[in-house]
Amino acid sequence: MSLLASILATLLWLAKLLALWVLKPFFVVMFAMNVAVILTWADRRQGAMIQDRVGPNRAVAWLPTRWAQAFVVLPALGVVAAIGFMLVKLEPAPEVRATRALLFCQLGILFTWLTGVFIAGRVQVRGVRSSFDAWIYSLGDPRRIFYGGLAAHVLTLFVAVTFEGAAAEQLTDIQYGGGAGLLIFAILFGAGYAAFSIRNEPRIGLRLAGLLHPAADGLKTIFKEDFIPPNADRMLHSLAPFISFFPALVVMAVIPFGDSLCFSGVSSKDFGELLPLMPANGVCPGVQYPLQVVSVDVGLLYFFALAGTGIVGAALAGWASDNKYSLLGGLRAASQMVSYEVTMGLTLVGAVMIYGSLRVDDMILWQRDHAWGIFVQPFAFFLFFAAAVAESKRIPFDIPEGESEIVAGYFTEYSGMKFAMFFFAEYIAVVTSSGLMSALFLGGWDLPYLRPDGLHVTFGGNQMFELALPHVLVVVVGALGFVLKTITLCWLQLMIRWTLPRFRYDQLMRLGWRKLLPASLANVFVTGLLVLGVASAGITVGRFVDLLGDCSRAFVALGGIAGFVYFVTFLLRPVHKPQTLASSSAQFAASAGGTRSVRMGA
C-alpha cells in the first residue's frame, strides 16, 4: 500500500515538474500562433473598417437560444460559486485580508458600472422594452454611469488608504462583505439580463465578429490541392515553407512574458508552494520560475540569428519553384532581408549599451528600475520599428510579394497549406517582432509603479501611495500588460499596412542603406557619448536623470489612465446621424422601423 502511495506521489511530482516546464513553451507557441491567426482576420477586418466596409463577418454558427442563455449564465454561476467558496471556506490571513477586501470592492464597482453601461447601451440601440429599461434610460447618457463608476473607484481607494487602526479593521469588514456582495450581484444581474433579453430570439448567431473566418480558412487550406510544379525541385520546394515557418515560431523563446514566479522550495526539483506575498525588497527567498522559455546569455543574438534564417526559406522557395517570378521574388526577399537585418542589429546597439546586457529579461529589469526604452532610445524605437516591418516583408515593404509586378513573388507556385504556412510565418513574424519591441522599448511585462510586492507610487524619492498585492496577481497583471503591449504594436503594424502604399524597389534599398543605416550609426555614437557623459558626471546629473525616469513613469501611468478614460467615453458617445426620407423606399423602411437590424427571414 505504501509502495502504491509512493509511486503515486512520484508520478504526481513528475507530472508537476513536467507541467511546469512544458507549460511555458506551450503557452508561448499557442500565444504566437493564435495571435497570428487572429491577425489574419484582424488585418482584413481592419482594412474594411478603414474603408467604410463591413468586411468578413458572414461565417456564423447558429445556436439554439437555450444554449446561448446557458453559455451566458453558467460561467457567471461558476464565477459566483468560486467567489462564494472564497468567502465561506478560505478565510484569508489577516495581513492580506485588507488587500482582498479592496480588490473585491474595486472589482465589484468595475462590474457594476460595466453592466450598467452595457445595458444602457443596449437600451439606447434597441429602445425601451421594460420598466427597468425605462429607469436606466432615464439616467440619460451612459457616460454618466461610467463617470459615477470612476468616482466610486477613486473614493474606495482613497477611503481604504486614509483609514487607520480600529476604523480600518471595521472598514475592511464592510469592504470585504460589501465588495463581494456587489461583485456577485453585478455578475448575476448582468448575466441574467443578457439571458432574459434574448429569450424571444428564435436562435442566436455566434459570429464572434467574423472570427470564424480564419478557422474556416485554415480548414480549407488543409484540404486544398498541394501542387508542385513538374520541373521544381520537389524536396526543396516542400522544405522551404517549414524553413521559413520554424524560425518565426521559435524566436519567442527568449522573450519573457511575465515576471519570475517565486516558490518557497529550495531547488528546481522541489518547487514547494507559491509565495502568497513577495518580501518588500523584491528578492525571491526560494526558487524562481522564470516565465521565459529559455533564459540564455546571448538572448538578443539568438533572436537575430534565428530570425535571419527566415531569409533562407524565402530564397529557397523562390529558387525551387522553377518560375521566373518566384526567382525574382526570392532574390528580392533575400536582398531586402539581409539589408534590413543590418539596420535592425545596429539600432539595438545603443539600447544594449544602456541596458548593459544581451539578456532580454535583464533589459526588462533595467527598464523597470529606470525608464522604459522608448524614453531612453526614442530614435532607435522608430528605426527598429521601420526595420522590423521591412524584415517581416509587409506593406509598405512587401516588394518580394509584389503582386502588381511579379504575380505573388516567391510563393507564386505554392498552394494549400504550404502557401498558408508562408502567410502564417509572416504573421507570426509580426507577433514576434512586436513582442521583442514591447520587451525592448515598452518595458515588457513591467507596468509603472507595479513592484513585485505591490503597488508603490513614488516620485523623486517620496512614497506617495502604497498597496501590497498578492504575488500571483502582480505576475498575472504584468503578463497581461505584456500581451496588451504586443497586441497594440501588432495592431499598429497592420494600421501602417492599410495606410501606406508600397515602395519601389530602389526606394526601399535607398531607405535601408542610405537613411536608416547612417541614422542607426549616428544613434550608436550619440548614445555612447550620452552614456559616457552621464557615467562621468556628478551626482546632481545622476539625480536629474533619475527624476527624468520618474517623470517618464508618471507620464505613462497618467497617460494610460487618461487614454483609458478617453477611450471609454469615446465608445459611449451617442451617435446622431442625419436621416433622409426622400424616396418611397426610405419611407417604407422608416415605417418598418428601419432596416438596420432586420432579422434574417426563414
Partner 1 sequence: MKTETAPLGPKRVTGVPVDRPKRTAGVQTYIPEIAKGLGITMKHFFQNTKEMAFGQRNDPSLEAVADGINTVSYPEQKRPYPARFRGMHRLTQREDGSPRCVACLCCSTACPAQCIHIEAGEYPEGDPKRGYERFPKRFVIDELRCVFCGFCVEACPCDAIRMDTGIHASPYDSREQFIFEKDLLLSFPGRDGSHQTANPRHEPGEPTHPGIDREHGH
Query: Total residues contacting partner 1 (rule CB under 8 A)?
Result: 42
Which one, 54 or 537, has the nearer CB to partner 1?
54
Q: Shortest Cβ distance from residue 31 to partner 1 (Å)?
A: 23
Query: Can residue 595 be called a binding residue for partner 1 (CB under 8 A)?
Result: yes
- What phi and psi, each to the nearest 5 degrees, are found at residue 289? -120, 95
- Contact between 575 and partner 1 per CB under 8 A: yes
The three-class DSSP label of residue 130 is coil
Which parts of 489-548 interact with partner 1 (CB under 8 A)? 495-496, 498-500
What is the spatial distance between Cα 87 and Cα 104, in angstroms, rounded to a whole number? 11
Which of 21, 30, 75, 126 contacts partner 1 by CB under 8 A?
126
What is the DSSP secondary structure assignment for residue 430, as one 8-state letter? H
Using CB under 8 A as the binding rule, whether residue 51 contacts partner 1 is answered as yes
Per-residue contact string for residues 446-485; x = within reach of partner 1 by CB under 8 A: ----------------------------------------
DSSP 317-330: HHHHT--HHHHHHH
Residue found under cell 526558487: 287
| Minimal distance, residue 22 CB to partner 1, in Å | 37
| Region binding partner 1 by CB under 8 A among candidate stretches 51-59, 298-306, 448-456, 521-529 | 51-59
E strands present in 187-286:
203-206, 258-263
Maximum Cα–Cα distance for the chain, whole Å? 87
Under the binding rule (CB under 8 A), the answer on residue 602 touching partner 1 is no
DSSP-derived letter for residue 288 is E
Q: Which of 199, 535, 570, 602 binds partner 1 (CB under 8 A)?
A: 570
Q: In this chain, which of 267, 462, 463, 583 binds partner 1, going by CB under 8 A?
A: 583
Sheet holding 454-459, edge to edge: 450-451, 454-459, 462-468
Q: Which of residues 165-224 bind partner 1 (CB under 8 A)?
A: 209
CA-to-CA dists, residue 66 to 237, 335, 502, angstroms: 50, 58, 50
Nearer to partner 1, 408 or 589 (CB): 589
Q: Which residue has the cell 494610460?
A: 560
> Residues 11, 174, 547, 590: which binds partner 1 (CB under 8 A)?
590
Least distance from C-beta 45 to partner 1, angstroms?
A: 8
Q: Considering the complex, what minimum distance in angstroms separates the CB of residue 203 from partner 1?
A: 13
- Sequence-distant (6+) residues with CB within 8 A of 194 are 72
Q: Which CB sits closer to partner 1, 463 or 580?
A: 580
Give the Cα separation of 326 and 143 in Å (integer): 55
Task: Give the HSE-up count for residue 295: Cα atoms under 13 Å, Cβ half-sphere.
Answer: 17
Q: How far apart are CA 502 and CA 560, in angstroms?
A: 33
Convert 580-602 into a string of H (helix), E (strand) and C (coil).
CCCCHHHHHHHHCCCCCCCCCCC
Nearer to partner 1 by C-beta: 97 or 122? Answer: 122
Q: Which of 29, 31, 46, 264 binds partner 1 (CB under 8 A)?
A: 46
In angstroms, give the least distance from the CB of 591 to partner 1: 9
Q: Give me the residues paired with residue 466 across strands.
A: 456
Pick one of 50, 82, 167, 219: the residue that binds partner 1 (CB under 8 A).
50
Q: Which residue(s) pair with 451 in the sheet?
A: 454
Look up cell 542610405; give the residue.
Answer: 514
Site for partner 1 in 66-125 (CB under 8 A): 121, 125
Judged by the rule CB under 8 A, the positions of this chain that interact with partner 1 are 46, 49-54, 121, 125-126, 209, 382, 495-496, 498-500, 570-571, 575, 577-581, 583-590, 592, 594-601
